[in-house]
């Protein structure tokens, strides 16, 4: 017993000690620091799978290649992301036919296996329409192609696991669960390089299944589709036994196979087969459940790029109408004999689905988003609410608001503002490149000049946005040069030391000092130049696919030190890290100095430090060798030694690291599964999940003056953390205090105003950043019990404005709109608003009361230095604003007094029906006065009465107080007139007080029940 007590005591003590020890694990203190999304959605992104509710045409689920799962409940007008907390690479979605309102399955890991494809981490299930998800296993599946649910038994589920793309894996083939996904049994496995690429179930006989198996694989420098193990199988007994279907189908090596059953006649089955012989490639049809097959069609539309387009869909009512994914998508209405293209839309069609209930309604998944047709696929409209754009890169400029620049998978190159009136809309983005877009940079000092590129540096452009002049500026091989090898995503970057300098990487580093007009090589071949990895012509397997996507032994990262132009770091896709310290005269290969890094691991990014030219960070991505380990290294000696700063908290491979410019221990990491942050130089990392999905982050950029961290995500567009400064300033000392304010810069009073945006209701609009003053503080523990309030005061304690305060553990941010209190407005019929005026420049106190403790922070408000208004003009505006403010409150007090005396006179008259005529006269006079001072009839819309003094004062107040320059002469004249009107009314009331009110007072002295009204003083009234 004693031992037990000691054990319990020690355990309890240990927990107490641990709980009380301050720690700087970033994830504990993110608080209300929240990311915002600006999309865009105008080009959307690759959609991998679409699933429609079988009975309710309004409900559809969309799986994005890298952007998660989206649900629409209005037929595709608006969408909600329902899978943010999980892997964003989607292979397939399935709706349980016996519970279609609630139970959905998601297989993660896209199966359209292009070079840039992400991977999955298993299968998920929701039973409440997508609100909550549970992972149901198959964690090593890598990518899931199909989920089939027995419509008569929802616990019986079949899954097609395609498996790993980048190497062998054993979790492949057809899996079955008979207990709702709790356990899985592998029914059909071929080998560790052949996976199940399609699985379909006979809707009338759930035990009948067709499974397509595909032998395939990628390396960083090659792709293979096809082999002797690819085949089409059928099971008649729920997967217990399988028969290979061969009668009438191509023999020997095959590649990817698409297969589909006609729902209206399940004996009819279609298959599109990638065969070795050209004449055998194409569409086959069986009319006897797969026993025999007839070749129908080998058109280009059916056979093009099978690894990327391998979905065939049969119309729900007509077995002779079939649609096939492809470069443009095609449809046959004669059972597959002939095809025509679907209506115009973005190319690269991955899925076509017909609505069961209205088959002319068709949804199509493309590289450029989701399309809808209402006429059976002839004309298409793009869905504009899916911000699943796939950026490869992002750069920023120094405008205000700053602009973001980047290129997207199959969706060109763009730039757009980080903020825009009404939010960041589709119309705000400007096209600055074609093809697949990658790295886009503004000229450092002339933002009208933008550099962009397309895949494999087939073109590098210099585009004058203002003059609309376009010039190709790519470096060409000179006489004697070998062929230049450019990566699919070739490095292009500007210089921090020479605004006209450009760097481009092939196997060499090319430099231009005249904006790309002329180029010089400043390095030898910095790659391994392994010839085995340079045979892209042979890439593709049974269908040649030499698109440039497999170009290898190339430079991938070029980073010039921000401290000196002599130091340049280079990383290559075949694992080399090289540095020059003399501007390119000599280079040193540092690769051998990096311990723990497997050979030839792709160097994805090198971050040259601002804290020392000898300091750099390098991240390596091994996923193209089937290695999903996070490799993050730091050197402080020009690469002689490297220290790993990756921890097990990072649960995927990484592509980018961004150093904080102020706090050298604060680092941001872009990973395949989201954003990670460390506050301690990499000792511990935390996933940042506040409105930041588990999406692949390809690039991070930190704005040097706006302090915004901007993430280029490959599936959820641009995501921004607007102000990272609170993270910079967290330290262990703050954790011992009940509340600590962070330091702030001076706050600039915003002067811009606008009429908002123009986006339609069905269009995605990116959030704007707040223009308020943001005051941040740290709470080491959530505030739950007791009162906690906040206010802004002047330095002498006068209340300016009450403010909402956050109560989260960690970082909290107060937002103050620079407003003081609004004037008190006279009571009348309907609403007449006098807006709160802005404060003037100066010092203010932010005061937080938390229980019995008061915490204060002085802040300073300044005027915009770029403003055209002079201090003299501002003074006139402030003086006039104050005058009208006082007039509004004077009027309110006057009307209050009128109301009080009117109520008293009315009460007296009600009691004394034969009262002195002065009482009636007083009531009439008060009513008449009120009618000229405030609106007393009508409504707040077109039935409104004519404006009276209150409404006129409020209007001129709004106009004067919300403009920062001097009031116009017209406004001043109007104010003078209104002032005279007010003074006249005051005088008139004064006369009444001396006459009729005085008379009423005399009458009231004799009345025991009705008393003089208790008129508050002006100050009391205002505070009331």
Q: Select the residue interacting with another protein from 691, 731, 771, 876 (CB under 8 A).
A: 691
- By beta-carbon proximity to another protein, the closer residue of 629 and 900 is 900
| Contact between 32 and another protein per CB under 8 A | yes
Report CA dihedral (167, 168, 169, 174) to the nearest 10 degrees: 110
| Contact between 54 and another protein per CB under 8 A | no
| Contact between 1019 and another protein per CB under 8 A | no
**Token pair recorded at residue 486:** 């450019």
Q: Which stretch binds another protein (CB under 8 A): 67-75, 498-506, 653-661, 965-973?
A: 67-75
**Cβ(73)–Cβ(63) below 8 Å:** no
| Contact between 785 and another protein per CB under 8 A | yes
| Contact between 476 and another protein per CB under 8 A | no
> Among 696, 693, 620, 701, which Cα is nearest to 668's?
701
How many residues sit close enough to another protein to count as binding (CB under 8 A)? 68
| Contact between 12 and another protein per CB under 8 A | yes
| Contact between 737 and another protein per CB under 8 A | no
| Contact between 826 and another protein per CB under 8 A | yes
Cβ neighbours of residue 794 under 8 Å, at least 6 residues apart? 800, 844, 845
Tracing tokens 């990670």 back to the chain, one arrives at: 676
Q: Which stretch binds another protein (CB under 8 A): 221-229, 413-421, 807-815, 877-885?
A: 807-815
Burial class (CB in 10 A: 0-12, 13-18, 19+), 943: exposed
- By beta-carbon proximity to another protein, the closer residue of 647 and 808 is 808
Q: Which stretch binds another protein (CB under 8 A): 89-97, 140-148, 419-427, 797-805?
A: 797-805
Q: Which stretch binds another protein (CB under 8 A): 10-18, 733-741, 747-755, 917-925?
A: 10-18
Positions of E strands within 506-576: 509-512, 520-521, 540-541, 555-560, 568-572
Q: How far apart are CA 568 and CA 577, in angstroms?
A: 11
| Contact between 833 and another protein per CB under 8 A | yes
Cβ neighbours of residue 785 under 8 Å, at least 6 residues apart? none
For residue 209, the minimal CB distance to another protein (Å) is 32
Q: Which stretch binds another protein (CB under 8 A): 114-122, 145-153, 173-181, 940-948?
A: 940-948
- By beta-carbon proximity to another protein, the closer residue of 536 and 673 is 673
Interstrand relation of 430-433 and 413-417 (parallel, antiparallel or unpaired): antiparallel
Q: Which stretch binds another protein (CB under 8 A): 194-202, 777-785, 965-973, 984-992?
A: 777-785
- By beta-carbon proximity to another protein, the closer residue of 827 and 998 is 827
Q: Which stretch binds another protein (CB under 8 A): 60-68, 76-84, 186-194, 628-636?
A: 76-84
Q: Select the residue interacting with another protein from 836, 844, 908, 997 (CB under 8 A).
A: 836
> Among 73, 72, 68, which Cα is nearest to 83's?
68
DSSP string of 661-684, one letter each residue: SS-TT-EEEEETTEEEEESSTTSS
| Contact between 31 and another protein per CB under 8 A | yes
Q: How far apart are CA 300 and CA 324, in angstroms?
A: 11
* 882, 916, 1000 from 909: Cα distances, Å: 40, 9, 10
- By beta-carbon proximity to another protein, the closer residue of 1005 and 1019 is 1019
SS3 readout for 472-503: ECCCCCCCCCCCCCCCCCCCEEECCCCCCCEE
Could you count the other beta carbons within 10 Å of the beta carbon of residue 472? 11
For residue 936, the minimal CB distance to another protein (Å) is 12
Q: Select the residue interacting with another protein from 743, 804, 856, 994 (CB under 8 A).
A: 804
- By beta-carbon proximity to another protein, the closer residue of 132 and 251 is 132
| Contact between 761 and another protein per CB under 8 A | yes
Could you count the other beta carbons within 10 Å of the beta carbon of residue 202? 19
Q: How far apart are CA 53 and CA 93, in angstroms?
A: 11
For residue 268, the SS3 value is coil
Q: Select the residue interacting with another protein from 46, 78, 393, 552 (CB under 8 A).
A: 78
For residue 932, the minimal CB distance to another protein (Å) is 17
For residue 518, the SS3 value is coil
Q: Select the residue interacting with another protein from 733, 756, 872, 943 (CB under 8 A).
A: 943
| Contact between 22 and another protein per CB under 8 A | no
Q: Select the residue interacting with another protein from 827, 911, 912, 1001 (CB under 8 A).
A: 827
Binding mask 118-147 toward another protein (x if CB under 8 A, else -) reads ----------xx-xx---------------
| Contact between 893 and another protein per CB under 8 A | no
Q: Select the residue interacting with another protein from 585, 802, 987, 1011 (CB under 8 A).
A: 802
| Contact between 422 and another protein per CB under 8 A | no
**Cβ(279)–Cβ(298) below 8 Å:** yes
| Contact between 784 and another protein per CB under 8 A | yes
For residue 819, the minimal CB distance to another protein (Å) is 4
Sheet with 282-286: list strands edge to edge. 254-261, 269-275, 282-286, 294-297
Task: Tell me 227's DSSP state.
Answer: B
Cβ neighbours of residue 437 under 8 Å, at least 6 residues apart? 392, 406, 407, 408, 411, 412, 413, 414, 452, 453, 454
Please list the alpha-helical segments (H only) found in 937-995: 949-961, 969-994
For residue 74, the minimal CB distance to another protein (Å) is 7
Q: Which stretch binds another protein (CB under 8 A): 5-13, 374-382, 855-863, 1001-1009?
A: 5-13
Q: Which stretch binds another protein (CB under 8 A): 8-16, 135-143, 344-352, 528-536?
A: 8-16
**Cβ(418)–Cβ(403) below 8 Å:** yes
| Contact between 939 and another protein per CB under 8 A | yes
Cα 682–chain centre separation: 25
- By beta-carbon proximity to another protein, the closer residue of 939 and 1020 is 939
- By beta-carbon proximity to another protein, the closer residue of 71 and 125 is 71
Q: Which stretch binds another protein (CB under 8 A): 6-14, 346-354, 559-567, 609-617?
A: 6-14
| Contact between 782 and another protein per CB under 8 A | yes
Cβ neighbours of residue 11 under 8 Å, at least 6 residues apart? none
**Token pair recorded at residue 130:** 């997508």
Q: Select the residue interacting with another protein from 754, 756, 941, 946 (CB under 8 A).
A: 941
Burial class (CB in 10 A: 0-12, 13-18, 19+), 911: exposed
| Contact between 924 and another protein per CB under 8 A | no
Tracing tokens 């002079």 back to the chain, one arrives at: 870
> Among 635, 630, 644, which Cα is nearest to 676's?
630
- By beta-carbon proximity to another protein, the closer residue of 742 and 918 is 742
Q: How far apart are CA 495 and CA 125, in angstroms?
A: 49
Binding mask 82-121 toward another protein (x if CB under 8 A, else -) reads x------------------xx-------------------
| Contact between 760 and another protein per CB under 8 A | no
Residues lying near another protein in the complex (CB under 8 A) are found at 1, 5, 8-9, 11-12, 15-16, 19, 28-32, 34, 71-74, 78, 80, 82, 101-102, 128-129, 131-132, 691, 761, 782-789, 801-804, 807-810, 817, 819-822, 825-833, 835-837, 892, 939-941, 943
């Amino acid at each position: 017993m004693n031992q037990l007590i000691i054990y319990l005591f020690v355990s309890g003590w240990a927990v107490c000690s641990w709980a009380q020890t301050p720690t700087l694990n970033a994830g504990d203190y993110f608080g209300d620091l929240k990311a915002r999304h600006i999309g865009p959605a105008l080009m959307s992104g690759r959609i991998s799978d679409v699933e429609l509710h079988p009975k309710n045409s309004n409900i559809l689920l969309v799986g994005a290649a890298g952007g998660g799962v989206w649900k629409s409940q209005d037929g595709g007008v608006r969408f909600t992301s329902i899978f943010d907390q999980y892997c964003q690479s989607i292979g397939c979605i399935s709706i349980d036919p016996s519970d279609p309102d609630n139970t959905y399955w998601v297989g993660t890991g896209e199966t359209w296996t292009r070079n840039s494809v992400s991977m999955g981490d298993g299968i998920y299930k929701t039973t409440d329409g997508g609100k909550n998800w549970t992972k149901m296993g198959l964690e090593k599946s890598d990518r899931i192609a199909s989920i089939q649910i027995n419509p008569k038994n929802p616990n019986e589920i079949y899954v097609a696991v395609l498996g790993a793309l980048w190497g062998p894996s054993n979790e492949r083939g057809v899996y079955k669960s008979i207990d709702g996904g709790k356990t899985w049994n592998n029914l059909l496995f071929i080998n560790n390089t052949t996976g199940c690429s399609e699985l379909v179930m006979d809707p009338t006989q759930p035990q009948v299944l067709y499974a397509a198996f595909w032998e395939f694989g990628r390396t960083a420098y090659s792709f293979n589709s096809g082999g002797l193990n690819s085949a089409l199988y059928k099971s008649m007994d729920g997967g217990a036994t399988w028969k290979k279907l061969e009668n009438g189908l191509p023999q020997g090596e095959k590649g990817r196979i698409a297969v589909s059953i006609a729902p209206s006649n399940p004996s009819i089955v279609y298959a599109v087969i990638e065969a070795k012989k050209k004449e055998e490639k194409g569409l086959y049809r069986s009319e006897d459940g797969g026993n025999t097959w007839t070749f129908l069609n080998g058109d280009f539309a059916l056979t093009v790029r099978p690894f990327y387009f391998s979905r065939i869909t049969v119309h729900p009512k007509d077995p002779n109408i079939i649609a096939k994914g492809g470069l443009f998508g095609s449809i046959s209405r004669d059972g597959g004999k002939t095809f025509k293209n679907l209506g115009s839309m973005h190319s690269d069609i991955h899925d076509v689905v017909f609505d069961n209930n209205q088959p002319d309604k068709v949804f199509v998944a493309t590289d450029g988003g989701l399309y809808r047709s209402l006429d059976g696929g002839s004309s298409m409209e793009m869905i504009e609410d899916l911000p699943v754009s796939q950026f490869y890169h992002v750069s920023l400029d120094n405008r205000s608001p700053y602009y973001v620049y980047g290129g997207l998978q199959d969706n060109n190159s763009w730039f757009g503002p980080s903020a825009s009136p009404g939010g960041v809309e589709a119309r705000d983005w400007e096209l600055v490149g074609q093809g697949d877009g990658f790295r886009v940079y503004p000229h450092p000092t002339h933002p009208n000049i933008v550099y962009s590129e397309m895949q494999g540096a087939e073109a590098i452009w210099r585009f004058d946005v203002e003059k609309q002049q376009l010039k190709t500026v790519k470096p060409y091989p000179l006489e004697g040069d070998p062929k230049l090898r450019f990566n699919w995503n070739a490095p292009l970057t500007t210089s921090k030391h020479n605004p006209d300098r450009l760097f481009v990487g092939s196997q060499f580093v090319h430099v231009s000092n005249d904006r790309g007009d002329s180029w010089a090589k400043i390095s030898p071949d910095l790659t391994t130049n392994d010839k085995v990895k340079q045979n892209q012509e042979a890439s593709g397997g049974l269908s040649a696919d030499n698109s440039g996507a497999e170009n290898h032994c190339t430079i991938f990262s070029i980073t010039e030190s921000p401290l000196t132009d002599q130091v340049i770091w280079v990383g290559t896709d075949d694992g080399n890290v090289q540095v020059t310290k003399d501007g390119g005269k000599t280079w040193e290969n540092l690769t051998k100095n990096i311990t723990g890094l497997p050979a030839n691991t792709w160097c994805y990014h090198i971050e040259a430090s601002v804290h020392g030219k000898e300091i750099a960070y390098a991240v390596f991505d091994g996923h193209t060798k089937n290695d999903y380990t996070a490799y993050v290294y730091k050197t402080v000696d020009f690469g002689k030694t490297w220290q790993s700063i990756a921890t097990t908290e990072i649960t995927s491979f990484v592509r980018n690291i961004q150093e904080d410019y102020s706090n050298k221990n604060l680092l941001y990491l872009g990973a395949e599964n989201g954003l990670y942050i460390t506050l301690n130089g990499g000792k511990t990392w935390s996933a940042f999940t506040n409105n930041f999905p588990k999406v692949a982050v390809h690039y991070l950029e930190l704005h040097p003056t706006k302090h915004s961290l901007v993430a280029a995500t490959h599936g959820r567009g641009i995501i921004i953390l607007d102000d990272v400064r609170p993270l910079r300033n967290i330290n262990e000392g703050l954790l011992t205090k009940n509340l600590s304010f962070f330091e702030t810069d001076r706050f600039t009073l915003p002067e811009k105003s606008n009429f908002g945006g123009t986006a339609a209701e069905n269009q995605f609009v990116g959030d704007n950043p707040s223009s308020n003053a943001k005051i941040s503080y740290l709470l080491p523990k959530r505030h739950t019990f007791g009162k906690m309030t906040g206010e802004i005061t002047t330095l002498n304690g006068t209340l300016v404005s009450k403010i909402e305060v956050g109560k989260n553990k960690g970082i909290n941010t107060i937002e103050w709109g620079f407003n003081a209190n609004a004037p008190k407005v006279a009571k009348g019929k309907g609403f007449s608003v006098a807006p709160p005026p802005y404060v003037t420049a100066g010092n203010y106190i932010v005061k937080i009361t938390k229980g019995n403790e008061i915490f204060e922070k002085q802040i300073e408000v300044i005027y915009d230095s770029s403003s055209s208004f002079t201090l003299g003009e501002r003074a006139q505006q402030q003086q006039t604003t104050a005058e009208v403010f006082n007039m509004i409150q004077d009027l309110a007090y006057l009307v209050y007094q009128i109301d009080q005396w009117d109520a008293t006179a009315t009460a007296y008259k009600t009691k004394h029906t034969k009262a002195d005529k002065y009482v009636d006269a007083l009531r009439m006079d008060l009513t008449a006065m009120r009618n000229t001072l405030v609106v007393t009839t009508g409504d707040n819309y077109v039935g409104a009465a004519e404006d009276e003094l209150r409404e006129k004062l409020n209007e001129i107040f709004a106009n004067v107080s919300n403009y920062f320059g001097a009031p116009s002469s017209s406004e001043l004249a109007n104010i003078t007139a209104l002032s005279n009107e007010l003074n006249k009314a005051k005088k008139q009331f004064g006369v009444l007080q001396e006459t009729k009110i005085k008379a009423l007072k005399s009458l009231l002295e004799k009345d025991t029940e009705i008393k003089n009204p208790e008129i508050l003083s002006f100050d009391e009234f205002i505070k009331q």
